Amino acid sequence: MAETKKIAVIAGDGIGPEVVAEAEKVLQKVGEVFGYSFETEHALFGGIAIDEKGTPLPQETLDVCKRADAVLLGAVGGPKWDNNPKELRPETGLLGIRKELGLFSNLRPAVVFDCLKDASTLKPEVLEGTDLMVVRELTGGIYFGEKFRRETEHGQEAVDTCAYNVTEVERIARQAFDIAMKRRKKLASVDKANVLETSRLWRETVIRVAEEYPEVELEHVLVDNCAMQLLRRPSSFDVIVTENMFGDILSDEAAMLTGSIGMLASASLGEGSYGLYEPVHGSAPDIAGQGLANPIATILSTALMLRLTFGYGEAADAIERAVAEVLDAGHRTSDIAAGRGDSLSTTQMGELILNAIRK
């Protein structure tokens, strides 16, 4: 038996608990099939933590995460907490956990499954062969810069500061180059260097780091142009690296290339192998508790955890193969049904994938 790996599970709000439950079953199955041992510890996070503990990120949740090898996160937020003050918002917990755990690099792969080309709003021939990875800087930029309000002669003024230092840009650039080296060796660095000082520092730094990676073909793309090129020529992108807010926006756009945000996994990493894994989608309060949610994004996030944190590549491949097999057989949850195939419930989809996992 392999060494027991500890996983902190923070299911969160809305559909979070439903999709996380399916991912936990997958972990157990992988354990049985490959002889791995996982121990999970659950903790409160997000809206439910606000309700029960008075804060979105209780210290004990942080402690559970810190003593684990990896974190599996469902989703947070919902209308119930939308009008709360900033400290009592689930999103504040999300930003806090990223910062506290030092997770500066957010990997969001967008792969168009051949059999799902029809589920996208874009033409199938444009999507053909799309397989890209957005590497988003996650603990800097305008999200974390100084924020304040002040009175002026024109009424209240609000200020959000965008700041990046060289160290922050270097470490995310290296991660992106390292990832590109393991893929098709193409990197698009996205910035707004024609306007922003932070972007000019970003570009200079990326150019310097590029000297360490002569095999990687580097292009610099302005963020507005990138938004356009993603719709025009998505398959030409391999790895995209960008700052926090640009990455937030572009990764949602990239998600829609695949037809459904219900398919997209993500990993948030720091310097070591520790990572937090979560679906890109939110808590979808409108469908919560109805068994309608697509568990694939969370299941694929679990595959990323096995590969990136634990080095269990074979098991990760087995999960990804199982998902592809079930989709190829025509099974669909309603978000990807596009009027074809069955409309499975969350647990039905989970079970089909579970049964398809083999060595």
Could you give the residue numbers annotated as active site?
143, 192, 224, 248, 252
CB-side exposure of 122: number of CA atoms within 13 Å? 22
Question: Per DSSP, which regions of 179-225 are E strands?
Answer: 186-191, 217-222
Quote the least distance from Cβ 248 to ligand IPM, whole Å: 5
Binding of ligand IPM by 223 (CB under 6 A): no
Q: Which of 41, 91, 170, 178 binds ligand IPM (CB under 6 A)?
A: 91
Q: How far is the CB of 167 from ligand IPM (least distance, A)?
A: 21
The token pair that represents 321 in the structure block: 């193969």
The token duo for 217 is: 């073909």
Residue of 240, 286, 290, 282 lying closest to 262 (CA atoms) = 282
Residue nearest to ligand IPM (CB): 91
Binder of residue 94, out of Mn ion, ligand IPM, none (CB less than 5 to 8 A by kind):
ligand IPM
Strand runs (DSSP E) across 138-258, as ranges? 147-152, 155-160, 186-191, 217-222, 239-242
SS3 content of the chain, % helix, strand, coil (to 5): 50, 20, 30
- Looking at beta carbons only, is 140 or 350 nearer to ligand IPM? 140
Q: Which of 8, 27, 48, 94 binds ligand IPM (CB under 6 A)?
A: 94
**Shortest spacing between CB 95 and ligand IPM, in angstroms:** 6
- Specify burial of residue 289 (Cβ count, 10 A radius: 0-12, 13-18, 19+): exposed
Q: How far is the CB of 17 from ligand IPM (least distance, A)?
A: 18
- Residue with Cβ nearer ligand IPM (50 or 94): 94
Contact positions toward Mn ion, by CB under 5 A?
Answer: 248
The verdict on 248 binding ligand IPM (CB under 6 A) reads yes
**Positions that interact with ligand IPM (CB under 6 A):** 91, 94-95, 248
